[in-house]
Amino acid sequence: MVFRFFRRRERHADAPYPQERPYGSPPAGRRRQPVPDRVGRIYVPLAVLQATDSVMRRFGRERRECYVWWGGYFTPQGDAQVLTALHPEVATDYGRIHLQAPQLARLHNRLRELDQVLLVELHTHPPGAGGQNDVDAAHPAATYAGFMSVVVPDFAQTQFYDLREAYVYEYLLGGHWRDLDSQEIAERFVIEETSVQVQL
């Protein structure tokens, strides 16, 4: 018989829930799953959407743009499962975000540590700026067919909750993009609750 003794950590009942995982696990090889010929559905936990909203609105209150990556993995069926929102704490301006190569490398290194790949890039635009511009289109964070870019208008005010109210683009190779309409956004991006109370 094996006895395990645990040391209870002191934590106040009203302390905020930790934002980092309690322990690291060895990689499971999710990054080795190849990019599918056609990316199918993209499954997004509501908690990731909420975390993205929180950081975007914080930047928005400071009247500056925000940049976020959604990391995760591809399934053998060709779908994509989002797991994590990564947001660099960098200086940005009212209508401009510019990340240097070392900053992008740190983002990629963090994805590697998490055993994840880049699935979706998101950033905010100020009021009246509309969707993807020529600079956005010419500098995607990834260049595989099916990579998604989301532009969130109005600095995510009042809330980034419904992807159909954002501008969503799919990369087609060769520097070309395709604009997704509301119906296709709802079909391709599956938002899933992360906590469900069931009345019995």
pLDDT above 60: residue 188: yes
Phi and psi torsions of 119, nearest 5°:
-105, -40
Neighbours of 80 (CB within 10 A): 27
What pTM value is reported for the model? 0.89
Residue 77 in any domain: the answer is yes
Residue 168 in any domain: the answer is yes
Number of folded domains that form the chain: 1
Residue 15 in any domain: the answer is no
- What are the pLDDT digits (tens) for 125-138? 999 999 999 988 99
pLDDT at position 116: 96
CATH of the domain at 113: 3.40.140.10
Residue 164 in any domain: the answer is yes
Residue 7 in any domain: the answer is no
Residue 150 in any domain: the answer is yes
- What are the pLDDT digits (tens) for 70-101? 999 999 999 999 999 999 888 787 877 877 88
pLDDT above 60: residue 123: yes
Sheet holding 189-192, edge to edge: 177-179, 167-171, 148-152, 117-124, 67-74, 80-86, 42-45, 189-192
**Which domain covers residue 71, as residue numbers?**
34-192
pLDDT at position 3: 60
Neighbours of 188 (CB within 10 A): 19
Residue 179 in any domain: the answer is yes
Residue 18 in any domain: the answer is no
- What are the pLDDT digits (tens) for 131-187? 999 988 999 999 999 999 999 999 999 899 999 999 999 999 898 999 999 999 999
